[in-house]
Amino acid sequence: DIQMTQSPSSLYASIGDRVTITCRASQSISTYLNWYQQKPGKAPQLLIHAAYTLESGVPSRFSGSGSGADFTLTISSLQPEDFATYYCQQSYTFGGGTKVEIK
């Protein structure tokens, strides 16, 4: 099975900061990589599919990049509503998650 490794597991950031989260697959997965956001007590929300395709309604400050085994989720200017946990996913495997907290 392919393993998905996210880093960092948590980070502290301020409003307006540029935030980058990485996800590494244990083997090449082309661009079959999705990103989710989860807020406390809520179901996850799909943000990006196929590495860089933004879901409808997701703000343009979110972007995804990468192919092969290395991927990145970037938030260009962190907003108060972006403090959450982010997960990458490939096939039926999720990464361990990255919690974005207020500095």
Partner 1 sequence: EVQVVESGGGLVQPGGSLRLSCAASGFTFSTYAMSWVRQAPGKGLEWVSVISGSGDGTYYTDSVKGRFTISRDNSKNTLYLQMNSLRVEDTAVYYCAVDGGCSTTTCYSTRATYWGQGTLVTVSS
- Binding positions for partner 1, rule: CB under 8 A: 30, 32, 34, 36, 38, 43-46, 49-50, 55, 87, 89, 91-97
- Rounded Cα distance, 103 and 44, in Å: 23
Instruction: CB nearer to partner 1: give 1 or 81.
Output: 1
Q: Do β-strands 10-13 and 98-102 pair in parallel, antiparallel, or remain unpaired?
A: parallel
Closest CA to 94 of 21, 22, 34, 42: 34
Nearer to partner 1, 32 or 83 (CB): 32
Q: 14 vs 42, which CB is nearer to partner 1? A: 42
Give the Cα separation of 86 and 75 in Å (integer): 11
Helix (H, G, I), strand (E, B) or coil at 65: strand
What is the smallest separation between the CB atom of 99 and partner 1, expressed in angstroms? Answer: 10
